[in-house]
Structure 1
Amino acid sequence: MAQKSSRSTSKPALLNEKFWSTFAKSHWEKKPLLVRNVKSDLLQMSADEIFDLLVLYADRCRDLNDPEGFKFFIDGAKADQEEVLQVLPERDDKSLLGYHERMESEFSDYCLVCDELLQVNLKKQQYLTEFTDALYRHVGFPNRFSEMGLYLGNYKKTPFGVHVDSCGVFSFPVAGVKKFRLWPAAYGDKHPELDRTFSYEKHKKHSQLLEVGPGDMTYWPSSEWHIAESDGSFSATWSLGVWVDQPHKDVFSETLKALIDTKMGSVGEKVTTSFKTLHSQNGEVSELPKEYRDSIELLKNLSPSELEEAFLQSWTKHISLQGFKTMPHTEVKIAPKSKIQLRNDHSMILWQQSLTNKKMYAFSFGGVQIQSTSAGLLKLIKALNTGKALVPGDFLKGATLKNDIQSLQALANAGAIQKV
């Protein structure tokens, strides 16, 4: 049975502390949830807002002649890259519905998927980060990432059939009615024939059907088998997928490997290992080659401070992305007399003091790391993190000025800073 209720009579659902506490206890990675009439700033991401994002990213793809991040399906078949570039939304479509009318005139069954909407400027980005910040406080910070995706079209079923992902999904319809059919993990495990199928009539009685429209929110765990259904009417839905497929042991070992790689130097690049004897006449192996013994000594000589700093840098870099796969970059030119501030008060420049030397490390949106011993630059970063608009030249002076401006420019290129 589909979960339904009247939007006109249902009370607004507040995504407050009580909601998230209950969600974490009863639903996160346990069972699906449907919430009607959600009251959240996140709902300001309307159909018009989504259309603007879609066109911005489509324009970028056309400029690069590369539709990466977009997928287009015709009657369930995936189009090739050249075809995708021909069917992307355009400003002249004026709206999601306008784009649909253009596509419907050519295709009786189509689906456009975009997985990279956060690569372009998101005017209401702070509402998305407020949502995820509240979620992460209650369920933990994802070891991998979250990503924003969009599905729109008149397709009758998800083009790749019944499937299961490695992410928990929050779904927000912005146009039309969306139906999601779900099966719990245990049922999917017992019925592997569900995987990628479009023929599941005999399994329907064991499923749950969620019917949602604009203003609603639904969630299902990463282990839930699912497929979207439609009668062929137009719908557009954006979703937030929180990937939960990277265990702590993998994150820990990757960081340790990176540290060891830097310590080993050229020895770590050797592709053969010298030896005296491989084994004794009776087959016993009792002696390690010199390279192994030297590497063990290297591990033994790592100081607690070196280890802590390596993991602290890895953690800071990871959380600087705020839990997302990508964040929008910007193009601004920073000069000593520029008046600058954080692009988003909810996106601080993260920094840490080295535990092994006098350097300061600062991070912005994952991929950007700067190193500096400039007291003026650190003072400026701290001041920017208060939300003030400032002039770099008031903080940066003397011999380090050029390097400090270059560091600020790197942070600005990553999207941390804007001109006022």
Structure 2
Amino acid sequence: MAQKSSPAPLPPGPSKPALLDQKFWRHFAKNIWEKKPLLLKNVKSGLLEMGDAEIFDLLVLYSDRCRKLNNPEGFKFYIHGFKAEEEDVLQVLPVKKDKSLLGYHARMKALFSDYCLVCDELLKVNLKKQDLLTEFTDELYRHVGFPNRFSEMGLYLGNYRKTPFGVHVDSCGVFSFPVVGLKRFRLWTPDFVKKNPGLDRAFKYDKYKKNSQLLEVGPGDMTYWPSSAWHIAESDGSFSATWSLGVWVDQPHKEMFAQPLNDLLGSKLGSAGATVTTPFKSLHGATGEVTELPEAYLKSIDSLKNLTALELQETFLKSWMKHISLQGFKTIPRVDFKLSAKSRIQLRSDRSLILWQQALTSKDKFFFSFGGVLVESSKSSGLLKLVKALNAGEFCSVNSFLKGESLKRDLGSLQALADAGAFA
């Protein structure tokens, strides 16, 4: 039975720009998110600044980084559907001499009649365009909620006729933006694939096409499909390049809640929490009945009972602050930035603030966070004043805020934030 639902373009007229305004986001959150695919033509968004030239520059920048480290982490290369070995990937990455995505394609086409390059780590070097993504994701998160895992930017390019790993499903909702060529995505519902398991990783699926939805997009367009959608990209062998934003939705709240609680209990139990065997008086009675807990369990229960509400709240507040300091991304760009008391600094972006909180269990203790890094500092009035000034958009001299006996300690805290990418 063919699917009845179909992607609903907004607004209806193909010639009218699709605005990602509040009306769109309200509609998206209520009717589209994690429910069904969406196809938008002629999207009006700052994200469209990330065209083929911008993507090529990012790709070369990240490729140069991989070559310098002699590590192709984040890249995958497929030839006729077969994944290349890691040691071979460095040899086929884009170089500045290619001049453009099409120039890179011309070089690859001379070597391979069917290839696909995948990059999952462009955000590591995407400092200049980070704000464009943040502007988009801020609105998304405001309407659908902050992801318990993360979002990540991916790039797919080549002349491959089908996704090299066949029909598949991810654990993320995907926004896709073609920058070169036309892109075709074929989608199936999870219920249909459950009834037709032969679709899983399939490359031959002609008999199932009538049960699929086909999204055809080009530069300037945007498509979205939910995390439950099984899909594959198709091509006639022409070159295409598409970047996407994947929003991972596979981590439930209970896991987010359990990790900081586990860390807190670990700190309370100390060395007793690291033991790998448990002393006992008796395992069970003659009838098999279990009536008592070992002493280690009883002491652990006492540790739980002695936790205060402030300790619990502070633990979860620190965990939440650290999580949101990544702004919902898997990773954010980091830069080499060596600080001294004479340094003059400013935030790299007014959209990327240094987060902070005063400890609930001690008035003299503060926590600061940026880019997934958490810094703890005591009696840090100067550091707090500096962070507030930076967050207000000021260009600051470090020695105007940090001085005296706490200078060395506060510089160390500030350097940790710099290493996480806080400053331009």
User: TM-score over 0.5 for the alignment?
Assistant: yes
Partner residue, 2:293: 288
Determine the structure 2 residue equivalent to 1:389. 395
Aligned residues: 418
Deviates more, 1:321-330 or 1:3-12: 3-12
Aligned with residue 136 of structure 1, among 125, 135, 141: 141
Cα distance between partner residues in 2 of 1:76 and 1:161:
9
Unmatched runs of 5 consecutive residues or more in structure 1: none
2:310 matches 1:305: yes
Aligned: 1:227 with 2:241? no
Partner of 1:167: 172
* Residue of structure 2 in register with 1:22 after alignment: 27
Q: Give CA-to-partner distance per residue, 1:314-370, whole Å, 9 cap, x none.
A: 000000000000111111122222221100110000001100112100000113434
AA matched with 2:401:
F
Q: What residue number does 2:418 align with?
A: 412
How do residues 195-206 of structure 1 correspond to structure 2 at under 5 angstroms?
A: 195-206=200-211
Question: Contact 2:373/2:416 (CA < 8 Å) preserved in 1?
Answer: no
Deviations 1:55-95 (A, max 9, x none): 11111111111111000000000000111111001111111
Contact between 1:368 and 1:414, CA under 8 Å: does it hold in 2? no
Structure 2 counterpart SS, 1:156: coil
- Percent identity reads 67
Q: How does 1:65-84 map to 2 (within 5 A)?
A: 65-84=70-89
| 1:37 lines up with 2:59 in the alignment | no
- After TM superposition, the structure 1 = structure 2 runs for residues 366-381 of structure 1, keeping only pairs within 5 Å, are 366-381=372-387
2:36 and 2:377 map into 1 onto residues whose CA distance is 45
The 1:181/1:81 distance shift into structure 2, 3 A limit, reads: same
> Does residue 90 of structure 1 match 2:106?
no
> Which residue type is aligned with residue 293 of structure 1?
L
**1:355 counterpart = 2:360:** yes
State how far apart, in whole Å, the 2-side matches of 1:188 and 1:379 are: 57
Between the aligned partners of 1:415 and 1:176, the Cα distance in structure 2 is: 34
Q: For residues 121 and 20 of structure 1, what CA distance do their matches in structure 2 show?
A: 25
Tell me the amino acid that sits aligned with residue 357 of structure 2. Q
Alpha-carbon contact 1:7-1:37 (below 8 Å) kept: no
2:148–2:256 contact (8 Å) kept in structure 1: yes
Aligned to 2:124: 119
Note if contact 1:162-1:194 (Cα within 8 Å) is conserved in structure 2.
yes
Per-residue CA distance 1:225-280 (angstroms, 9 max, x = gap): 10000000000000000000000011111111111111111101111111111111
Greater Cα shift, 178-187 or 107-116? 178-187
Q: Is the 8 A contact 1:116 1:149 kept in 2?
A: yes
Residue type at the aligned position of 1:124: K
Pair 1:400 & 2:412 matched: no
Which residue type is aligned with residue 185 of structure 1? Answer: P
Contact 1:376–1:395 (Cα < 8 Å) also in 2 = yes
- In the alignment, is residue 154 of structure 1 matched against residue 159 of structure 2? yes
CA 1:384–1:4: 2 relative to 1, 3 Å: closer
Q: CA deviation at 1:7?
A: 12
Measure how far apart 1:403 and its partner are: 1.4
Equivalent residue in structure 1 for 2:16, among 4, 11, 17: 11
**4-13 or 116-125: bigger deviation:** 4-13
Question: Distance between the aligned counterparts of 2:165 and 2:249, measured in 1?
Answer: 21
1:12 corresponds to which letter in structure 2?
A: P
Cα pair distance change 1:179/1:312, threshold 3 Å? same
- State the TM-score, normalizing by the size of structure 2: 0.96
What corresponds to 2:371 in structure 1?
365
Q: CA offsets per residue over residues 356-393 of structure 1, 9 Å max, x none?
A: 11210000011343433210100110110011111111
CA change 1:3–1:364 in 2 (3 A) is closer
- Paired letter, 2:221: D
SS of alignment partner, residue 239 of structure 1: strand
1:192-234: CA deviation from partner (whole Å, max 9, x where unpaired): 1100000100000011110000100000000001000000000
User: Amino acid of the residue matched to residue 198 of structure 1?
Assistant: F
Q: Tell me, what secondary structure is at the counterpart of 1:174?
A: strand
In 1: Cα distance, 2:266 partner to 2:153 partner: 34
Partners of 1:388 and 1:316 lie apart in 2 by: 23
Q: Deviations over 1:7-43 (max 9, x none)?
A: 9961111111110000001100000000011111111
Q: Match for 1:330 among 335, 341, 345?
A: 335
The answer to whether the aligner puts 1:262 opposite 2:302 as a matched pair is: no
Indicate conservation of the 8 Å contact 2:347/2:423, yes or no.
yes
Q: 1:78 to 1:261 in 2, by over 3 A?
A: same
